[in-house]
Structure 1
Amino acid sequence: MTRPQTITPLYLGIAASALVIVAGGVGFGLARLQHTSGAMPATDTAGKGKVLYWYDPMVPAQHFDKPGKSPFMDMQLKPRYAGEADPAEGGVQIDPSRLQNLGVRLASVERGDFTATFDAAGSLDFNGRDVAIIQARANGFVQRVYARAPGDVIAAGAPIADILVPSWGGAQSEYLAVIATHDPSLEAAARQRLVLLGMSAGLIDNVKRTGKISNVVTITTPVGGAIQTLDARQGMTVSMGQTLAQVTSLSSVWLTAAVPEVQAGRVKIGQTVTADLAAFPSETFTGRIAAILPTTQTDSRTLSVRVELPNPGAKLRPGMFATVHLAGNSSQALFVPTEALIRTGKRTLVMLGDGKGRFTPAEVQTGRENGDRTEIIAGLNEGDKVVASGQFLIDSEASLSGINARPLTPMSPPSGAAAAAPALYSTKGVIEQLKGNSITLSHEAVPAIGWPAMTMTFKLSSANLAKGMKVGDHVSFGFVQKADGPVIQKIDAMGGMQ
């Protein structure tokens, strides 16, 4: 038989104490739960200020009045405190006190006079329009060759060779006999015969004055310059019209510049250009565009522009390289510092600043460049602030945060004036190649912009414009000049070139 256990007063005291502790814990938990499920507190425990609302960073426009898990994403809601920027506006927020340490510098978007300038590489060559061909005027023999060689630079009137012309002896004897008759008409006829035989007026006068036959003539160069070819050799037989030498003048030289195809619309015949040469670093040479060659280099997509440069002292030598500076007409344009642009290869961005530490990426369309300034065609307005230094750090932060750039929007037109539509230029040509949204045409001259007839590639505003056309078709077309090159707006097939 089991003996019943006796409950002592000590055990009763311990049990009572345990009940009190459990009851207190339950009461504390109920009170905490009640506080959590009530209204949101006016301040956060971290002391950052008043909490205005909670939001999902991926959907910042949706506000919540208490913390918890986002109904959109598997993440906790974040609080927005009083004084913070609205997260729905996007962008990167940086403490203004840290901007100076990061080297961030803002610049204003300005409007003003803008002259399109660009540089091109070029090389010097002989002036092909200033060439002298020195030939024998009659059949004869080379008696003497002066010390000349191809490449020598000689002055005008320099002797090349002495030619013995046997047939001149008899004709000069007859001329002297006619002079003795003192018949002016006969003398004039005899003199004309000597001229037709190839004698110069100076040689004929010398025969008349001295009364002696002179059938050895010295061939001289009519211009000064460089000897290109020299085919006269002592003892050789020459015939009438045979070329003995070719001399190219150095009074002027050609500078052939390789202008990018997209800049073709900005060059015109007669336009003034300047050039710098490494051989003469302290000098700037000025010339005018004499010709725009009719074909584009297919491998480099460049247009050859010929500039004629004066060459006093003949110090400019063919073969030298030069940097050519070309400038277009001045016009009003919106522009930013070139250093503010972020070029990704597919698009161009800038970082917009509000002056309070918030930065937003925005896409822009650029145009002409002039030194350290770049024209803005679309995406910004006058007075906007862009980051001109330190933008790559901010852009990296924006990319990591998944912030999308503001899409491209047209800029506001200047006050009091509407933006003018680009001019449409029309001409005719033959299709050489069709590829996607581009077309290569051999077209006629475009006098309105100073273009000669040439072969070049155009963009199509729509690939459907050339639908049904093929290589070899004769077409008439109209195009506009844009920052990235000429764009065809209309094209029509035709029966043949006029």
Structure 2
Amino acid sequence: MNTILKTTIAAATLIALGAGLGYGLSTWRGTRTDHPAPTAGASAPAEGRKVLYWYDPMMPQHKFDKPGKSPFMDMQLVPRYADETPAGGVAVDPRLSQTLGWRAATVEKQRVGEGVDSVATVQLNERDVVTVQARSAGFVQQVGRMAPGDVVAAGALIAELLVPEWTAAQQEFLAVRATGDAALTAAARQRLVLLGVPAATIQEVEQSGRPQALMAVHAPIGGVVQELGVRAGMTVAQGMTLVRINGLATVWLEAALPEAQAAVARQGQPVEVRFSAFPGETRQGRVTAVLPQANADTRTLKVRIELPNPQGRLRAGMFAQVRLGGREQEVLVVPSDAVIRTGQRSLVYVVTAPGRYQPVEVRVGREFGNRTEVLQGLQAGQEVVVSGQFLIDSEASMRGVAPLAAAATHEGKGRVIEVSDKEITLDHDPIASMKWPAMQMPFKLASPALARRVKAGDAVQFGFTQSGDDYVIQRIERTGAAK
């Protein structure tokens, strides 16, 4: 009896479960009529949704125009719908963006100067050097109180020399002058000049009537004694260097600039200089030379700056901070964190709509602190992803989304038919880069200022870019008068 009762209860339970399962299955089918299950042969597209292409989830960069089996994997191709992501972009749930803390920044225009800061070393001005040599053989009777490294003033005594040849020539000059023959006297005087006797010594001989046995040699300029070649009692030969003096009225600063910034330095350019030894003081100099050879190890270029040194306070070997100024200009900048550098190109992700991002290839220039200059690829006012773009980039790579290349500029020639602040109609010649024949067509203007440069009938040369379905004039120049 117990066995019969157990069997009856088990059968009733199975019947109840089957009925419940059947009701649930029918209910689920009724609520899923908008998304039918895919067939066994292929992934069927949902009704009412536009299919952009078919792809293999394991190889998303390859796209197919119809369903079927993947040529790479043993699996069916999957449809990519138009409402899943913008064409060529990536879609992410905005709630996920907030959860992960993704940030966006606006592409802005910023006025920057071409100024470059660098460290420089003070050196003596090699153009301000004087070398004093013996013009005739003689003997050193006395040497001035100086040594190499001393700073001397202009006119300081260097040495007193006894030059026998000069003494004999002076006696001959006095003897000839006593004869009263003007021609012979002039010839004897000229001989003194040719022997190298200073003009002051000749004048003193004429006034005193006595030969000057000793000749005093004085420093022609003030500066530091770089070389002293005479000592008391020694014999000097003709052409021997007595002293070499380096002037201190001006000094050189040699600054090393990275080769990427070498174009900023120009000859004659003003420079601001600061020394830690003189806090609060700013000195003005100028670039006298940009040396033609770069340092192969440090990849730097030397720039020579000339700086006045009126009080002689600047010493060779001192360090200085220099700033090479330049003209200010307006450039387009983005946060440096927004740029993804792959080694072959640079990318940013532009926010096209909430939760939708478009990879754009850009050409970058200089860096200003935490901002990077954008030379091509973006426009002011666009929003770019600053943090979290690597996750978006990974999603784009999985989906095979290719970045938009920076807009290329096309050149053309033509004649103005009609022009307004926003649009211009041109009758242009064939444009080879676009494979266009000669025709008449309208163009958008990147700026209303372009419209003021030309008028109807003018012959023009122009450059334009393609932005979606529009063609935008970026540059236009008048080449001929209106007809």
TM range (shorter): 0.5 to 0.7
Secondary structure of the 1:367 match is strand
Secondary structure of the 2:280 match is strand
Match of 1:23 in 2: 15
1:34 equivalenced with 2:26 (yes/no): yes
**Which whole-Å CA distance do the structure 1 matches of 2:260 and 2:166 have between them?**
62
**Which whole-Å CA distance do the structure 1 matches of 2:315 and 2:359 have between them?**
50
* Cα pair 2:360 2:403 within 8 Å, conserved: yes
Deviates more, 1:171-180 or 1:211-220: 171-180
The structure 2 residue matched to 1:395, chosen from 381, 389, 408, is 389
What's the CA shift for 1:263?
A: 4.2
The structure 2 residue matched to 1:409, chosen from 400, 405, 409, is 405
* Cα pair 1:360 1:406 within 8 Å, conserved: no
Secondary structure of the 2:140 match is strand
**Which whole-Å CA distance do the structure 2 matches of 1:410 and 1:341 have between them?**
14
TM-score (norm 2): 0.65
* Cα pair 2:90 2:392 within 8 Å, conserved: no
User: What amino acid does structure 2 have at the position aligned with 1:40?
Assistant: R
**Which whole-Å CA distance do the structure 1 matches of 2:144 and 2:182 have between them?**
39
* Cα pair 1:365 1:408 within 8 Å, conserved: no
- Matches of residues 345-384 of structure 1 in structure 2 within 5 Å? 345-353=343-351, 356=354, 362-370=360-368, 373-384=371-382
Describe the shift of the 1:343–1:11 C-alpha distance in structure 2 as closer, same or farther (beyond 3 A).
closer
Secondary structure of the 1:282 match is coil
Secondary structure of the 1:162 match is strand
User: Which digits, 9 at most, give the CA deviation of each residue in 1:127-167, with x for residues without a partner?
Assistant: 22221011112211111222322222222222222211123
- Matches of residues 234-383 of structure 1 in structure 2 within 5 Å? 234-280=232-278, 282-338=280-336, 340-343=338-341, 345-353=343-351, 356=354, 362-370=360-368, 373-383=371-381
**Which whole-Å CA distance do the structure 1 matches of 2:284 and 2:336 have between them?**
27
Task: Give percent identity, aligned residues only.
Answer: 39
Number of residue equivalences: 386
Match of 2:158 in 1: 160
**Which whole-Å CA distance do the structure 2 matches of 1:326 and 1:411 have between them?**
34
Match of 2:425 in 1: none
Note the residue ranges of structure 2 that are not aligned, 5 or more in a row. Answer: 35-47, 64-72, 410-445, 451-461, 466-483
TM-score (norm 1): 0.63
Deviates more, 1:135-144 or 1:266-275: 266-275
User: Which digits, 9 at most, give the CA deviation of each residue in 1:363-422, with x for residues without a partner?
Assistant: 42112345655321223222112355xx2xx1343466565786252258853566699x
Note the residue ranges of structure 1 that are not aligned, 5 or more in a row. Answer: 1-7, 43-51, 63-71, 422-498
1:199 equivalenced with 2:197 (yes/no): yes
**Which whole-Å CA distance do the structure 2 matches of 1:329 and 1:112 have between them?**
14
* Cα pair 1:117 1:369 within 8 Å, conserved: no
**Which whole-Å CA distance do the structure 1 matches of 2:464 and 2:213 have between them?**
75
Secondary structure of the 1:307 match is strand
Secondary structure of the 2:171 match is helix
User: What amino acid does structure 2 have at the position aligned with 1:230?
Assistant: L
Describe the shift of the 1:181–1:410 C-alpha distance in structure 2 as closer, same or farther (beyond 3 A).
same
User: Which digits, 9 at most, give the CA deviation of each residue in 1:5-26, with x for residues without a partner?
Assistant: xxx5x76655544433221111
User: What amino acid does structure 2 have at the position aligned with 1:33?
Assistant: L
Secondary structure of the 2:191 match is helix
* Cα pair 1:122 1:324 within 8 Å, conserved: yes
**Which whole-Å CA distance do the structure 2 matches of 1:320 and 1:94 have between them?**
58
What's the CA shift for 1:187?
A: 4.4
* Cα pair 1:118 1:370 within 8 Å, conserved: no
**Which whole-Å CA distance do the structure 2 matches of 1:381 and 1:129 have between them?**
50
Match of 1:224 in 2: 222
Match of 1:144 in 2: 142
Deviates more, 1:233-242 or 1:278-287: 278-287
Describe the shift of the 1:39–1:282 C-alpha distance in structure 2 as closer, same or farther (beyond 3 A).
same
User: Which digits, 9 at most, give the CA deviation of each residue in 1:422-453, with x for residues without a partner?
Assistant: xxxxxxxxxxxxxxxxxxxxxxxxxxxxxxxx
Describe the shift of the 1:252–1:339 C-alpha distance in structure 2 as closer, same or farther (beyond 3 A).
farther
**Which whole-Å CA distance do the structure 2 matches of 1:355 and 1:315 have between them?**
63
**Which whole-Å CA distance do the structure 2 matches of 1:279 and 1:263 have between them?**
27
Secondary structure of the 2:17 match is helix
What's the CA shift for 1:186?
A: 5.0
What's the CA shift for 1:225?
A: 1.8
* Cα pair 1:116 1:369 within 8 Å, conserved: no
- Matches of residues 76-115 of structure 1 in structure 2 within 5 Å? 89-90=89-90, 93=93, 95=95, 98=98, 102=101, 106-111=104-109, 114-115=112-113
User: What amino acid does structure 1 have at the position aligned with 2:90?
Assistant: G
What's the CA shift for 1:265?
A: 4.4
Match of 1:464 in 2: none
Q: CA RMSD in A?
A: 4.5
What's the CA shift for 1:278?
A: 4.3
Describe the shift of the 1:183–1:254 C-alpha distance in structure 2 as closer, same or farther (beyond 3 A).
same
**Which whole-Å CA distance do the structure 2 matches of 1:160 and 1:167 have between them?**
20
User: What amino acid does structure 1 have at the position aligned with 2:447?
Assistant: S
User: What amino acid does structure 1 have at the position aligned with 2:389?
Assistant: D
